[in-house]
């Protein structure tokens, strides 16, 4: 018996069993039970105790084979290596050097549970140090008058997180900058120009149409602006997304247990690496495609995603026409952070080429639907070539690739040129009260 325990087969077998015990539960959906009791169920404790028992057997086998002194020295060395590696990961974590952000903090709570955070972070979101305020309709915007006074020219801006202003102060968003530019251009004559931001994080174009239909009578806009992001074409709730949601339900609690264990022994950053490995396993089990493959499917004119996106554009234009508004402005807020890895603007990567094709396809579809389309490539690339901008200036920071305040300034300036034409035509109306 002792000879078998000393053998390599026994030691390898113990290690394999420990790994299997770690990953079998989520693979076979053991954790899919009552969510409120998952962390308390006896079988979870049983799995953890089995792992401890196997570890003890493995150590006993090593002692029998190599001797107590060798095992202790190697065990100490391994522990030192693990904690040193975790320390290096901790010191190199960019989040610790950045302003507080609620979503990143709570997504990685086990890493940062000892991090000092704002006292009200639990009930008020912070976006990279910027405290978010909400109006009575739960948008990140000031309250506005209802019904709209005749002396106000109101612009309603709709979009996703790019428009919402993730990581930016309200004053840095392109909607706020646009209002400032327009008021400077038309300072002394009525109407008072008012730009209201109705951006919501994570929405797509069909959701924006539903939002517009819900609030347009309250807002009574004189002009509509839509901020488009490359992934607004994709639908939520399709087969791929249902698989992803199933994966999150089945693996969420396993990952939480894993992170709690690793955090308990002071190896939370190594736990984060194991969590990523778990994500890879989940992607494989549920056959979840890569983001670029999802985009390729969404932009295929034969697919449902594209058909619904195109219909949403036509529905928005029809609603705008019904209210006798000017053609809506469709601002393609290109995902320029995707270009940050380029060393040569004249030789874009395949990913960048694909995104450029997507933007061109969207722009043509919006023009066909009757929108006033605005793009920003020329302005951004010109500033990059003249060294007025660096690639690192395009995203908010190294963690969050949402557009920076520099990009929002470019967005506002270009959109303002289009809005000025609309305003000049509006001011020439004979029935306008001066």
Whether the Cβ atoms of residue 225 and residue 182 lie closer than 8 Å to each other: no
pLDDT, tens digit (0-9, with 9 covering 90-100), for 187-231:
866 788 999 999 999 899 999 999 999 999 999 999 999 999 988
Query: For residue 130, how many other CB atoms are within 10 A of its CB?
Result: 20
Most confident of 225-234, 279-288, 312-321: 312-321
Residue 35 is predicted with a pLDDT of 42
| Of the residues 51, 69, 97, the one at which a domain ends | 97
Gap between the Cα atoms of 209 and 306, Å rounded: 15
Residues 306 and 408 in one domain: yes
Residues 322 and 419 in one domain: yes
Residue 385 is predicted with a pLDDT of 87
pLDDT of residue 63 exceeding 50, the answer is: yes
pLDDT, tens digit (0-9, with 9 covering 90-100), for 370-428:
999 999 988 998 898 888 988 888 999 989 989 999 999 999 999 999 999 999 888 77
How much is the pTM? 0.85
| Of the residues 97, 112, 144, the one at which a domain ends | 97
- Provide the strand spans (E) within 209-326: 223-228
| Residue 294 placed within a domain | no
| Of the residues 46, 73, 97, the one at which a domain ends | 97
| Residue 113 placed within a domain | no
Residues 344 and 252 in one domain: no
- CATH number of 375's domain: 3.40.50.1110
Alpha helices in 267-404 (DSSP H): 268-285, 291-298, 304-322, 350-369, 377-385
Residues 248 and 379 in one domain: no
| Residue 353 placed within a domain | yes
Band (pLDDT 50/70/90 cuts) for residue 6 is: low
Nearest CA-CA partner of 229 in 208, 247, 204, 206: 204
| Residue 122 placed within a domain | no
How many domains are contained in the chain?
Answer: 3
Residues 349 and 405 in one domain: yes
Residues 202 and 337 in one domain: yes
| Residue 116 placed within a domain | no
Residues 42 and 140 in one domain: no
Higher pLDDT, residue 242 or 426: 426
| Residue 219 placed within a domain | yes
Residue 110 is predicted with a pLDDT of 84
Residues 223 and 80 in one domain: no
| Residue 234 placed within a domain | no
Specify the range with the lowest mean pLDDT, choosing from 19-23, 113-117, 149-153, 326-330. Answer: 19-23
Nearest CA-CA partner of 175 in 222, 220, 141: 141
Beta pairing, strands 223-228 & 126-127: unpaired
Residues 220 and 324 in one domain: yes
Gap between the Cα atoms of 384 and 352, Å rounded: 16
pLDDT of residue 169 exceeding 50, the answer is: yes
Six-digit token string for 289: 């495609």
Residues 85 and 183 in one domain: no
Q: How high does pLDDT run on average in the chain? A: 84
| Residue 405 placed within a domain | yes
Distance between first and last Cα of the chain: 100
Gap between the Cα atoms of 399 and 178, Å rounded: 27
Q: What is the percent of the chain with per-residue pLDDT over 70, rounded to a whole number? A: 86
Gap between the Cα atoms of 415 and 161, Å rounded: 18
Nearest CA-CA partner of 155 in 24, 324, 325: 325
Residues 216 and 336 in one domain: yes
Higher pLDDT, residue 185 or 343: 185
Q: Tell me the mean pLDDT in the region 130-145.
A: 93
Which domain does 35 fall in, by range?
A: 2-97
Residues 400 and 311 in one domain: yes
């Amino acid at each position: 018996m002792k000879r078998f325990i000393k053998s390599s087969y026994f030691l390898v077998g113990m290690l394999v069993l420990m790994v299997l015990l770690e990953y079998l539960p989520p693979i076979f959906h053991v954790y899919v039970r009552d969510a409120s009791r998952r962390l308390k169920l006896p079988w979870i404790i049983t799995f953890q105790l089995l792992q401890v028992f196997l570890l003890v057997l493995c150590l006993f086998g090593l002692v029998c084979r190599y001797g107590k002194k060798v095992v202790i020295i190697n065990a100490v060395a391994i522990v030192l290596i693990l904690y040193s590696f975790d320390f290096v990961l901790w010191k190199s974590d960019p989040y610790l050097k950045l302003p507080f952000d609620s979503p990143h903090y709570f997504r990685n709570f086990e890493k940062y549970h000892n991090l000092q955070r704002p006292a009200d972070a639990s009930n008020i979101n912070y976006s990279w140090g910027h405290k978010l305020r909400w109006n009575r309709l739960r948008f990140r915007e000031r309250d506005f008058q209802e019904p709209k006074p005749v002396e106000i020219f109101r612009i309603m801006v709709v979009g996703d997180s790019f428009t919402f202003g993730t990581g930016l102060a309200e004053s840095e968003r392109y909607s706020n900058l646009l209002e400032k530019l327009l008021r400077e251009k038309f300072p002394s004559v009525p109407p008072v120009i008012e730009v209201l931001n109705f951006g919501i994080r994570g929405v797509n174009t069909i959701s924006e149409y539903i939002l517009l239909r819900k609030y347009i009578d309250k807002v009574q806009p004189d002009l509509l602006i839509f901020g488009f992001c490359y992934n607004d074409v994709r639908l939520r709730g399709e087969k791929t997304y249902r698989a992803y949601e199933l994966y999150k339900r089945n693996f969420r609690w396993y990952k939480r247990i894993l992170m709690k264990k690793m955090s308990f022994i002071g190896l939370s950053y190594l736990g984060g690496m194991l969590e990523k490995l778990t994500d890879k396993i989940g992607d494989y089990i549920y056959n979840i495609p890569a983001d670029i493959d999802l985009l390729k499917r969404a932009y295929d004119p034969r697919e449902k995603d594209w058909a619904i996106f195109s219909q949403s554009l036509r529905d928005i234009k029809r609603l705008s026409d019904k209210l006798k508004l000017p053609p809506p402005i469709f601002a393609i807020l290109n995902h320029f952070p995707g270009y940050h890895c380029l060393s040569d603007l004249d030789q874009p990567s395949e990913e960048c080429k694909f995104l450029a094709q997507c933007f061109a396809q969207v722009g043509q579809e919006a023009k066909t639907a009757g929108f006033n389309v605005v793009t920003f490539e020329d302005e951004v690339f010109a500033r990059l070539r003249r060294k007025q901008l660096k690639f690192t200036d395009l995203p908010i920071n190294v963690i969050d690739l949402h557009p920076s305040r520099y990009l929002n300034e470019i967005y506002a300036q270009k959109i303002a040129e289009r809005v000025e034409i609309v305003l000049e035509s509006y001011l020439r109306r004979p029935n306008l009260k001066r």
